[in-house]
Amino acid sequence: MHRRTALSVSAALLLAAPLLSACSGEARPGTAAVVGGERITTSALQAQVNDVRVAQNRTGQAAAELIASTPNLERQKLDSMLQSHVIDKMADTAGISVSVKEIEDERRAYVEENKGAEQFEALLLQKGAMAPGQVDRFLRDRVLLTKLTAKYGQGKLEEPARAAATDLHIEVNPRYGAWDVKQIKLGAGETPWITRRTQPEQVPAGA
């Protein structure tokens, strides 16, 4: 059965935490989001955005089209970063971990499915706005989601996702949008789908 490569799970969530604003209503300088008490800095976010833009510019004639297709790249990358934190929290709560070997096995399977490493990375760049240096995080998320599905059951990640996101007390700088309370999703980011036959689960889309 085909497996989706969403970087998040779909779940409903009502966030009680305030946005990143001071009493004056201005966003806290230098902070894109706070997750579990830890800051995601605007510089860290911008570094991910820059890596994607560099990779897109290296595609030659396709560069302009790729850049034009990702006008909200900052929001998209922050969405991915936040969702990865949620997945990590879900795994930590469930006592699930991932090894380097498991990540490499996942990479090997995707490379085989997509007929080579270059094709796989090109597809991630095109469909998911991921630079080559961001692929390991993508693969880690995939392994964790597969293990979480094995623990909770197919289609049953909503409740643990809601609990994880709530525990993390995620706050987002309004500059980058706001959480979709039904899907745990920042703004209107899109979710890439990449075929992978060897895993049984179809994870609900979230980003």
The number of distinct structural domains making up the chain is 1
**Among 88, 206, 197, which Cα is nearest to 145's?**
88
> Could you tell me what percentage of the chain is helix, strand and coil, using 3-state DSSP and rounding each to the nearest 5?
50, 10, 40
pLDDT by position in tens, the chain (length 207)? 344 333 333 322 222 223 333 322 344 569 999 999 999 999 999 999 999 999 999 999 899 999 999 999 999 999 999 999 999 999 999 999 999 999 999 999 999 999 999 999 999 999 999 999 999 999 999 999 999 999 999 989 989 998 999 898 888 888 888 866 567 778 643 433 333 434 433 333 333
What is this structure's pTM?
0.76
Residue 119 lies in a domain: yes
Does residue 51 fall inside a structural domain? yes
Residue 181 in domain: yes
Residue 74 maps to a domain: yes
Domain that holds residue 126: 32-186
10 lies in a domain?
A: no
Q: What residues pair up with 39 in beta bridges, in sequence order?
A: 34
Tokens read off for 118: 């270059």
* 199 assigned to some structural domain: no
